Amino acid sequence: MAAPPVQPVPPAAAAAVNGDAFRLGFVGAGNLAESIARGVAASGVLPASAIRTAPHRRPERGEAFASFGACLLQTNAQVVDDSDVIVISVKPQIVKQVLLELRPRLSEEKLLVSIAAGIKMQDLQDWSGQRRIIRVMPNTPSAVGQAASVMCLGEMATQDDENRVRKLFSAIGKVWTAEEKYFDAVTGLSGSGPAYIFLAIEAMADGGVAAGLPRDLALGLASQTVLGAATMVSQTGKHPGQLKDQVTSPAGTTIAGIQELEKGAFRGTLISAVVAAAKRCRELS
């Protein structure tokens, strides 16, 4: 399949709803970059014409960006030259190479945003020669607009920079700001956490099948139950233990199930999973 034609970039392409006009470039056009770009365009934070990237070596990546109106350029160097905010969204193992290649085109007039997992702020600064950097750790639910993202600011990132990046990532979910020293723990919790919940949904569905439910009904009930429970915690502001107590009647079905979970060290196992993933992240970074 032929790659989509490179689109000309209209002058003054960006004009956000709040009047904060800027151009957003993605160095790396993978699935996560696409999710962010789509969310930004769909939410109205920026028009699609303000978003640009260079086509990936796989033609379908360029087609994905072109499908919602983003501008396609020939090279990453052109993306940097024609963007005010540059998102580094390549695989972690090539971040150093990419930043060293782009370093002559970077300046403090441009805000650099890295979503590369495990790449520390100090390395980003050393390789890019920049100090105006924000590091962001999103997670895979960004694909459905339900990301949990955490960001930390580099030495020269301003309050305006933080607000701008918060708006961008709020288009795909919720955003928190934290010191970089917490990022390994963030990876262990929200970065790896979706996999823990996928396992829980699968296990709950298997339990439904074991209790006699058809597979499709069991999976639907399990996934909706997890979604509903998470929404209750998020929207009510109540402690999950309080919500658990509200559905746990004396000598009832729920407490019988919870007793089995406690026998299997359910809570302790989840705690250990987060700690183990955080430890592995420290080892790898």
CB 203 within 8 A of CB 218: no
CB 38 within 8 A of CB 66: no
CB 97 within 8 A of CB 123: no
CB 204 within 8 A of CB 261: no
Cβ of 97: how many Cβ atoms within 10 Å? Answer: 11
Residue 31 labeled ligand binder: no
Q: Order of strands across the sheet with 111-114?
A: 71-72, 51-53, 24-27, 85-88, 111-114, 133-137, 147-153, 173-177
What are the structure tokens assigned to 181, written together? 């020293």
Q: Which residues participate in the annotated binding site?
A: 76
Q: Which residues participate in the annotated binding site for NADPH?
A: 76
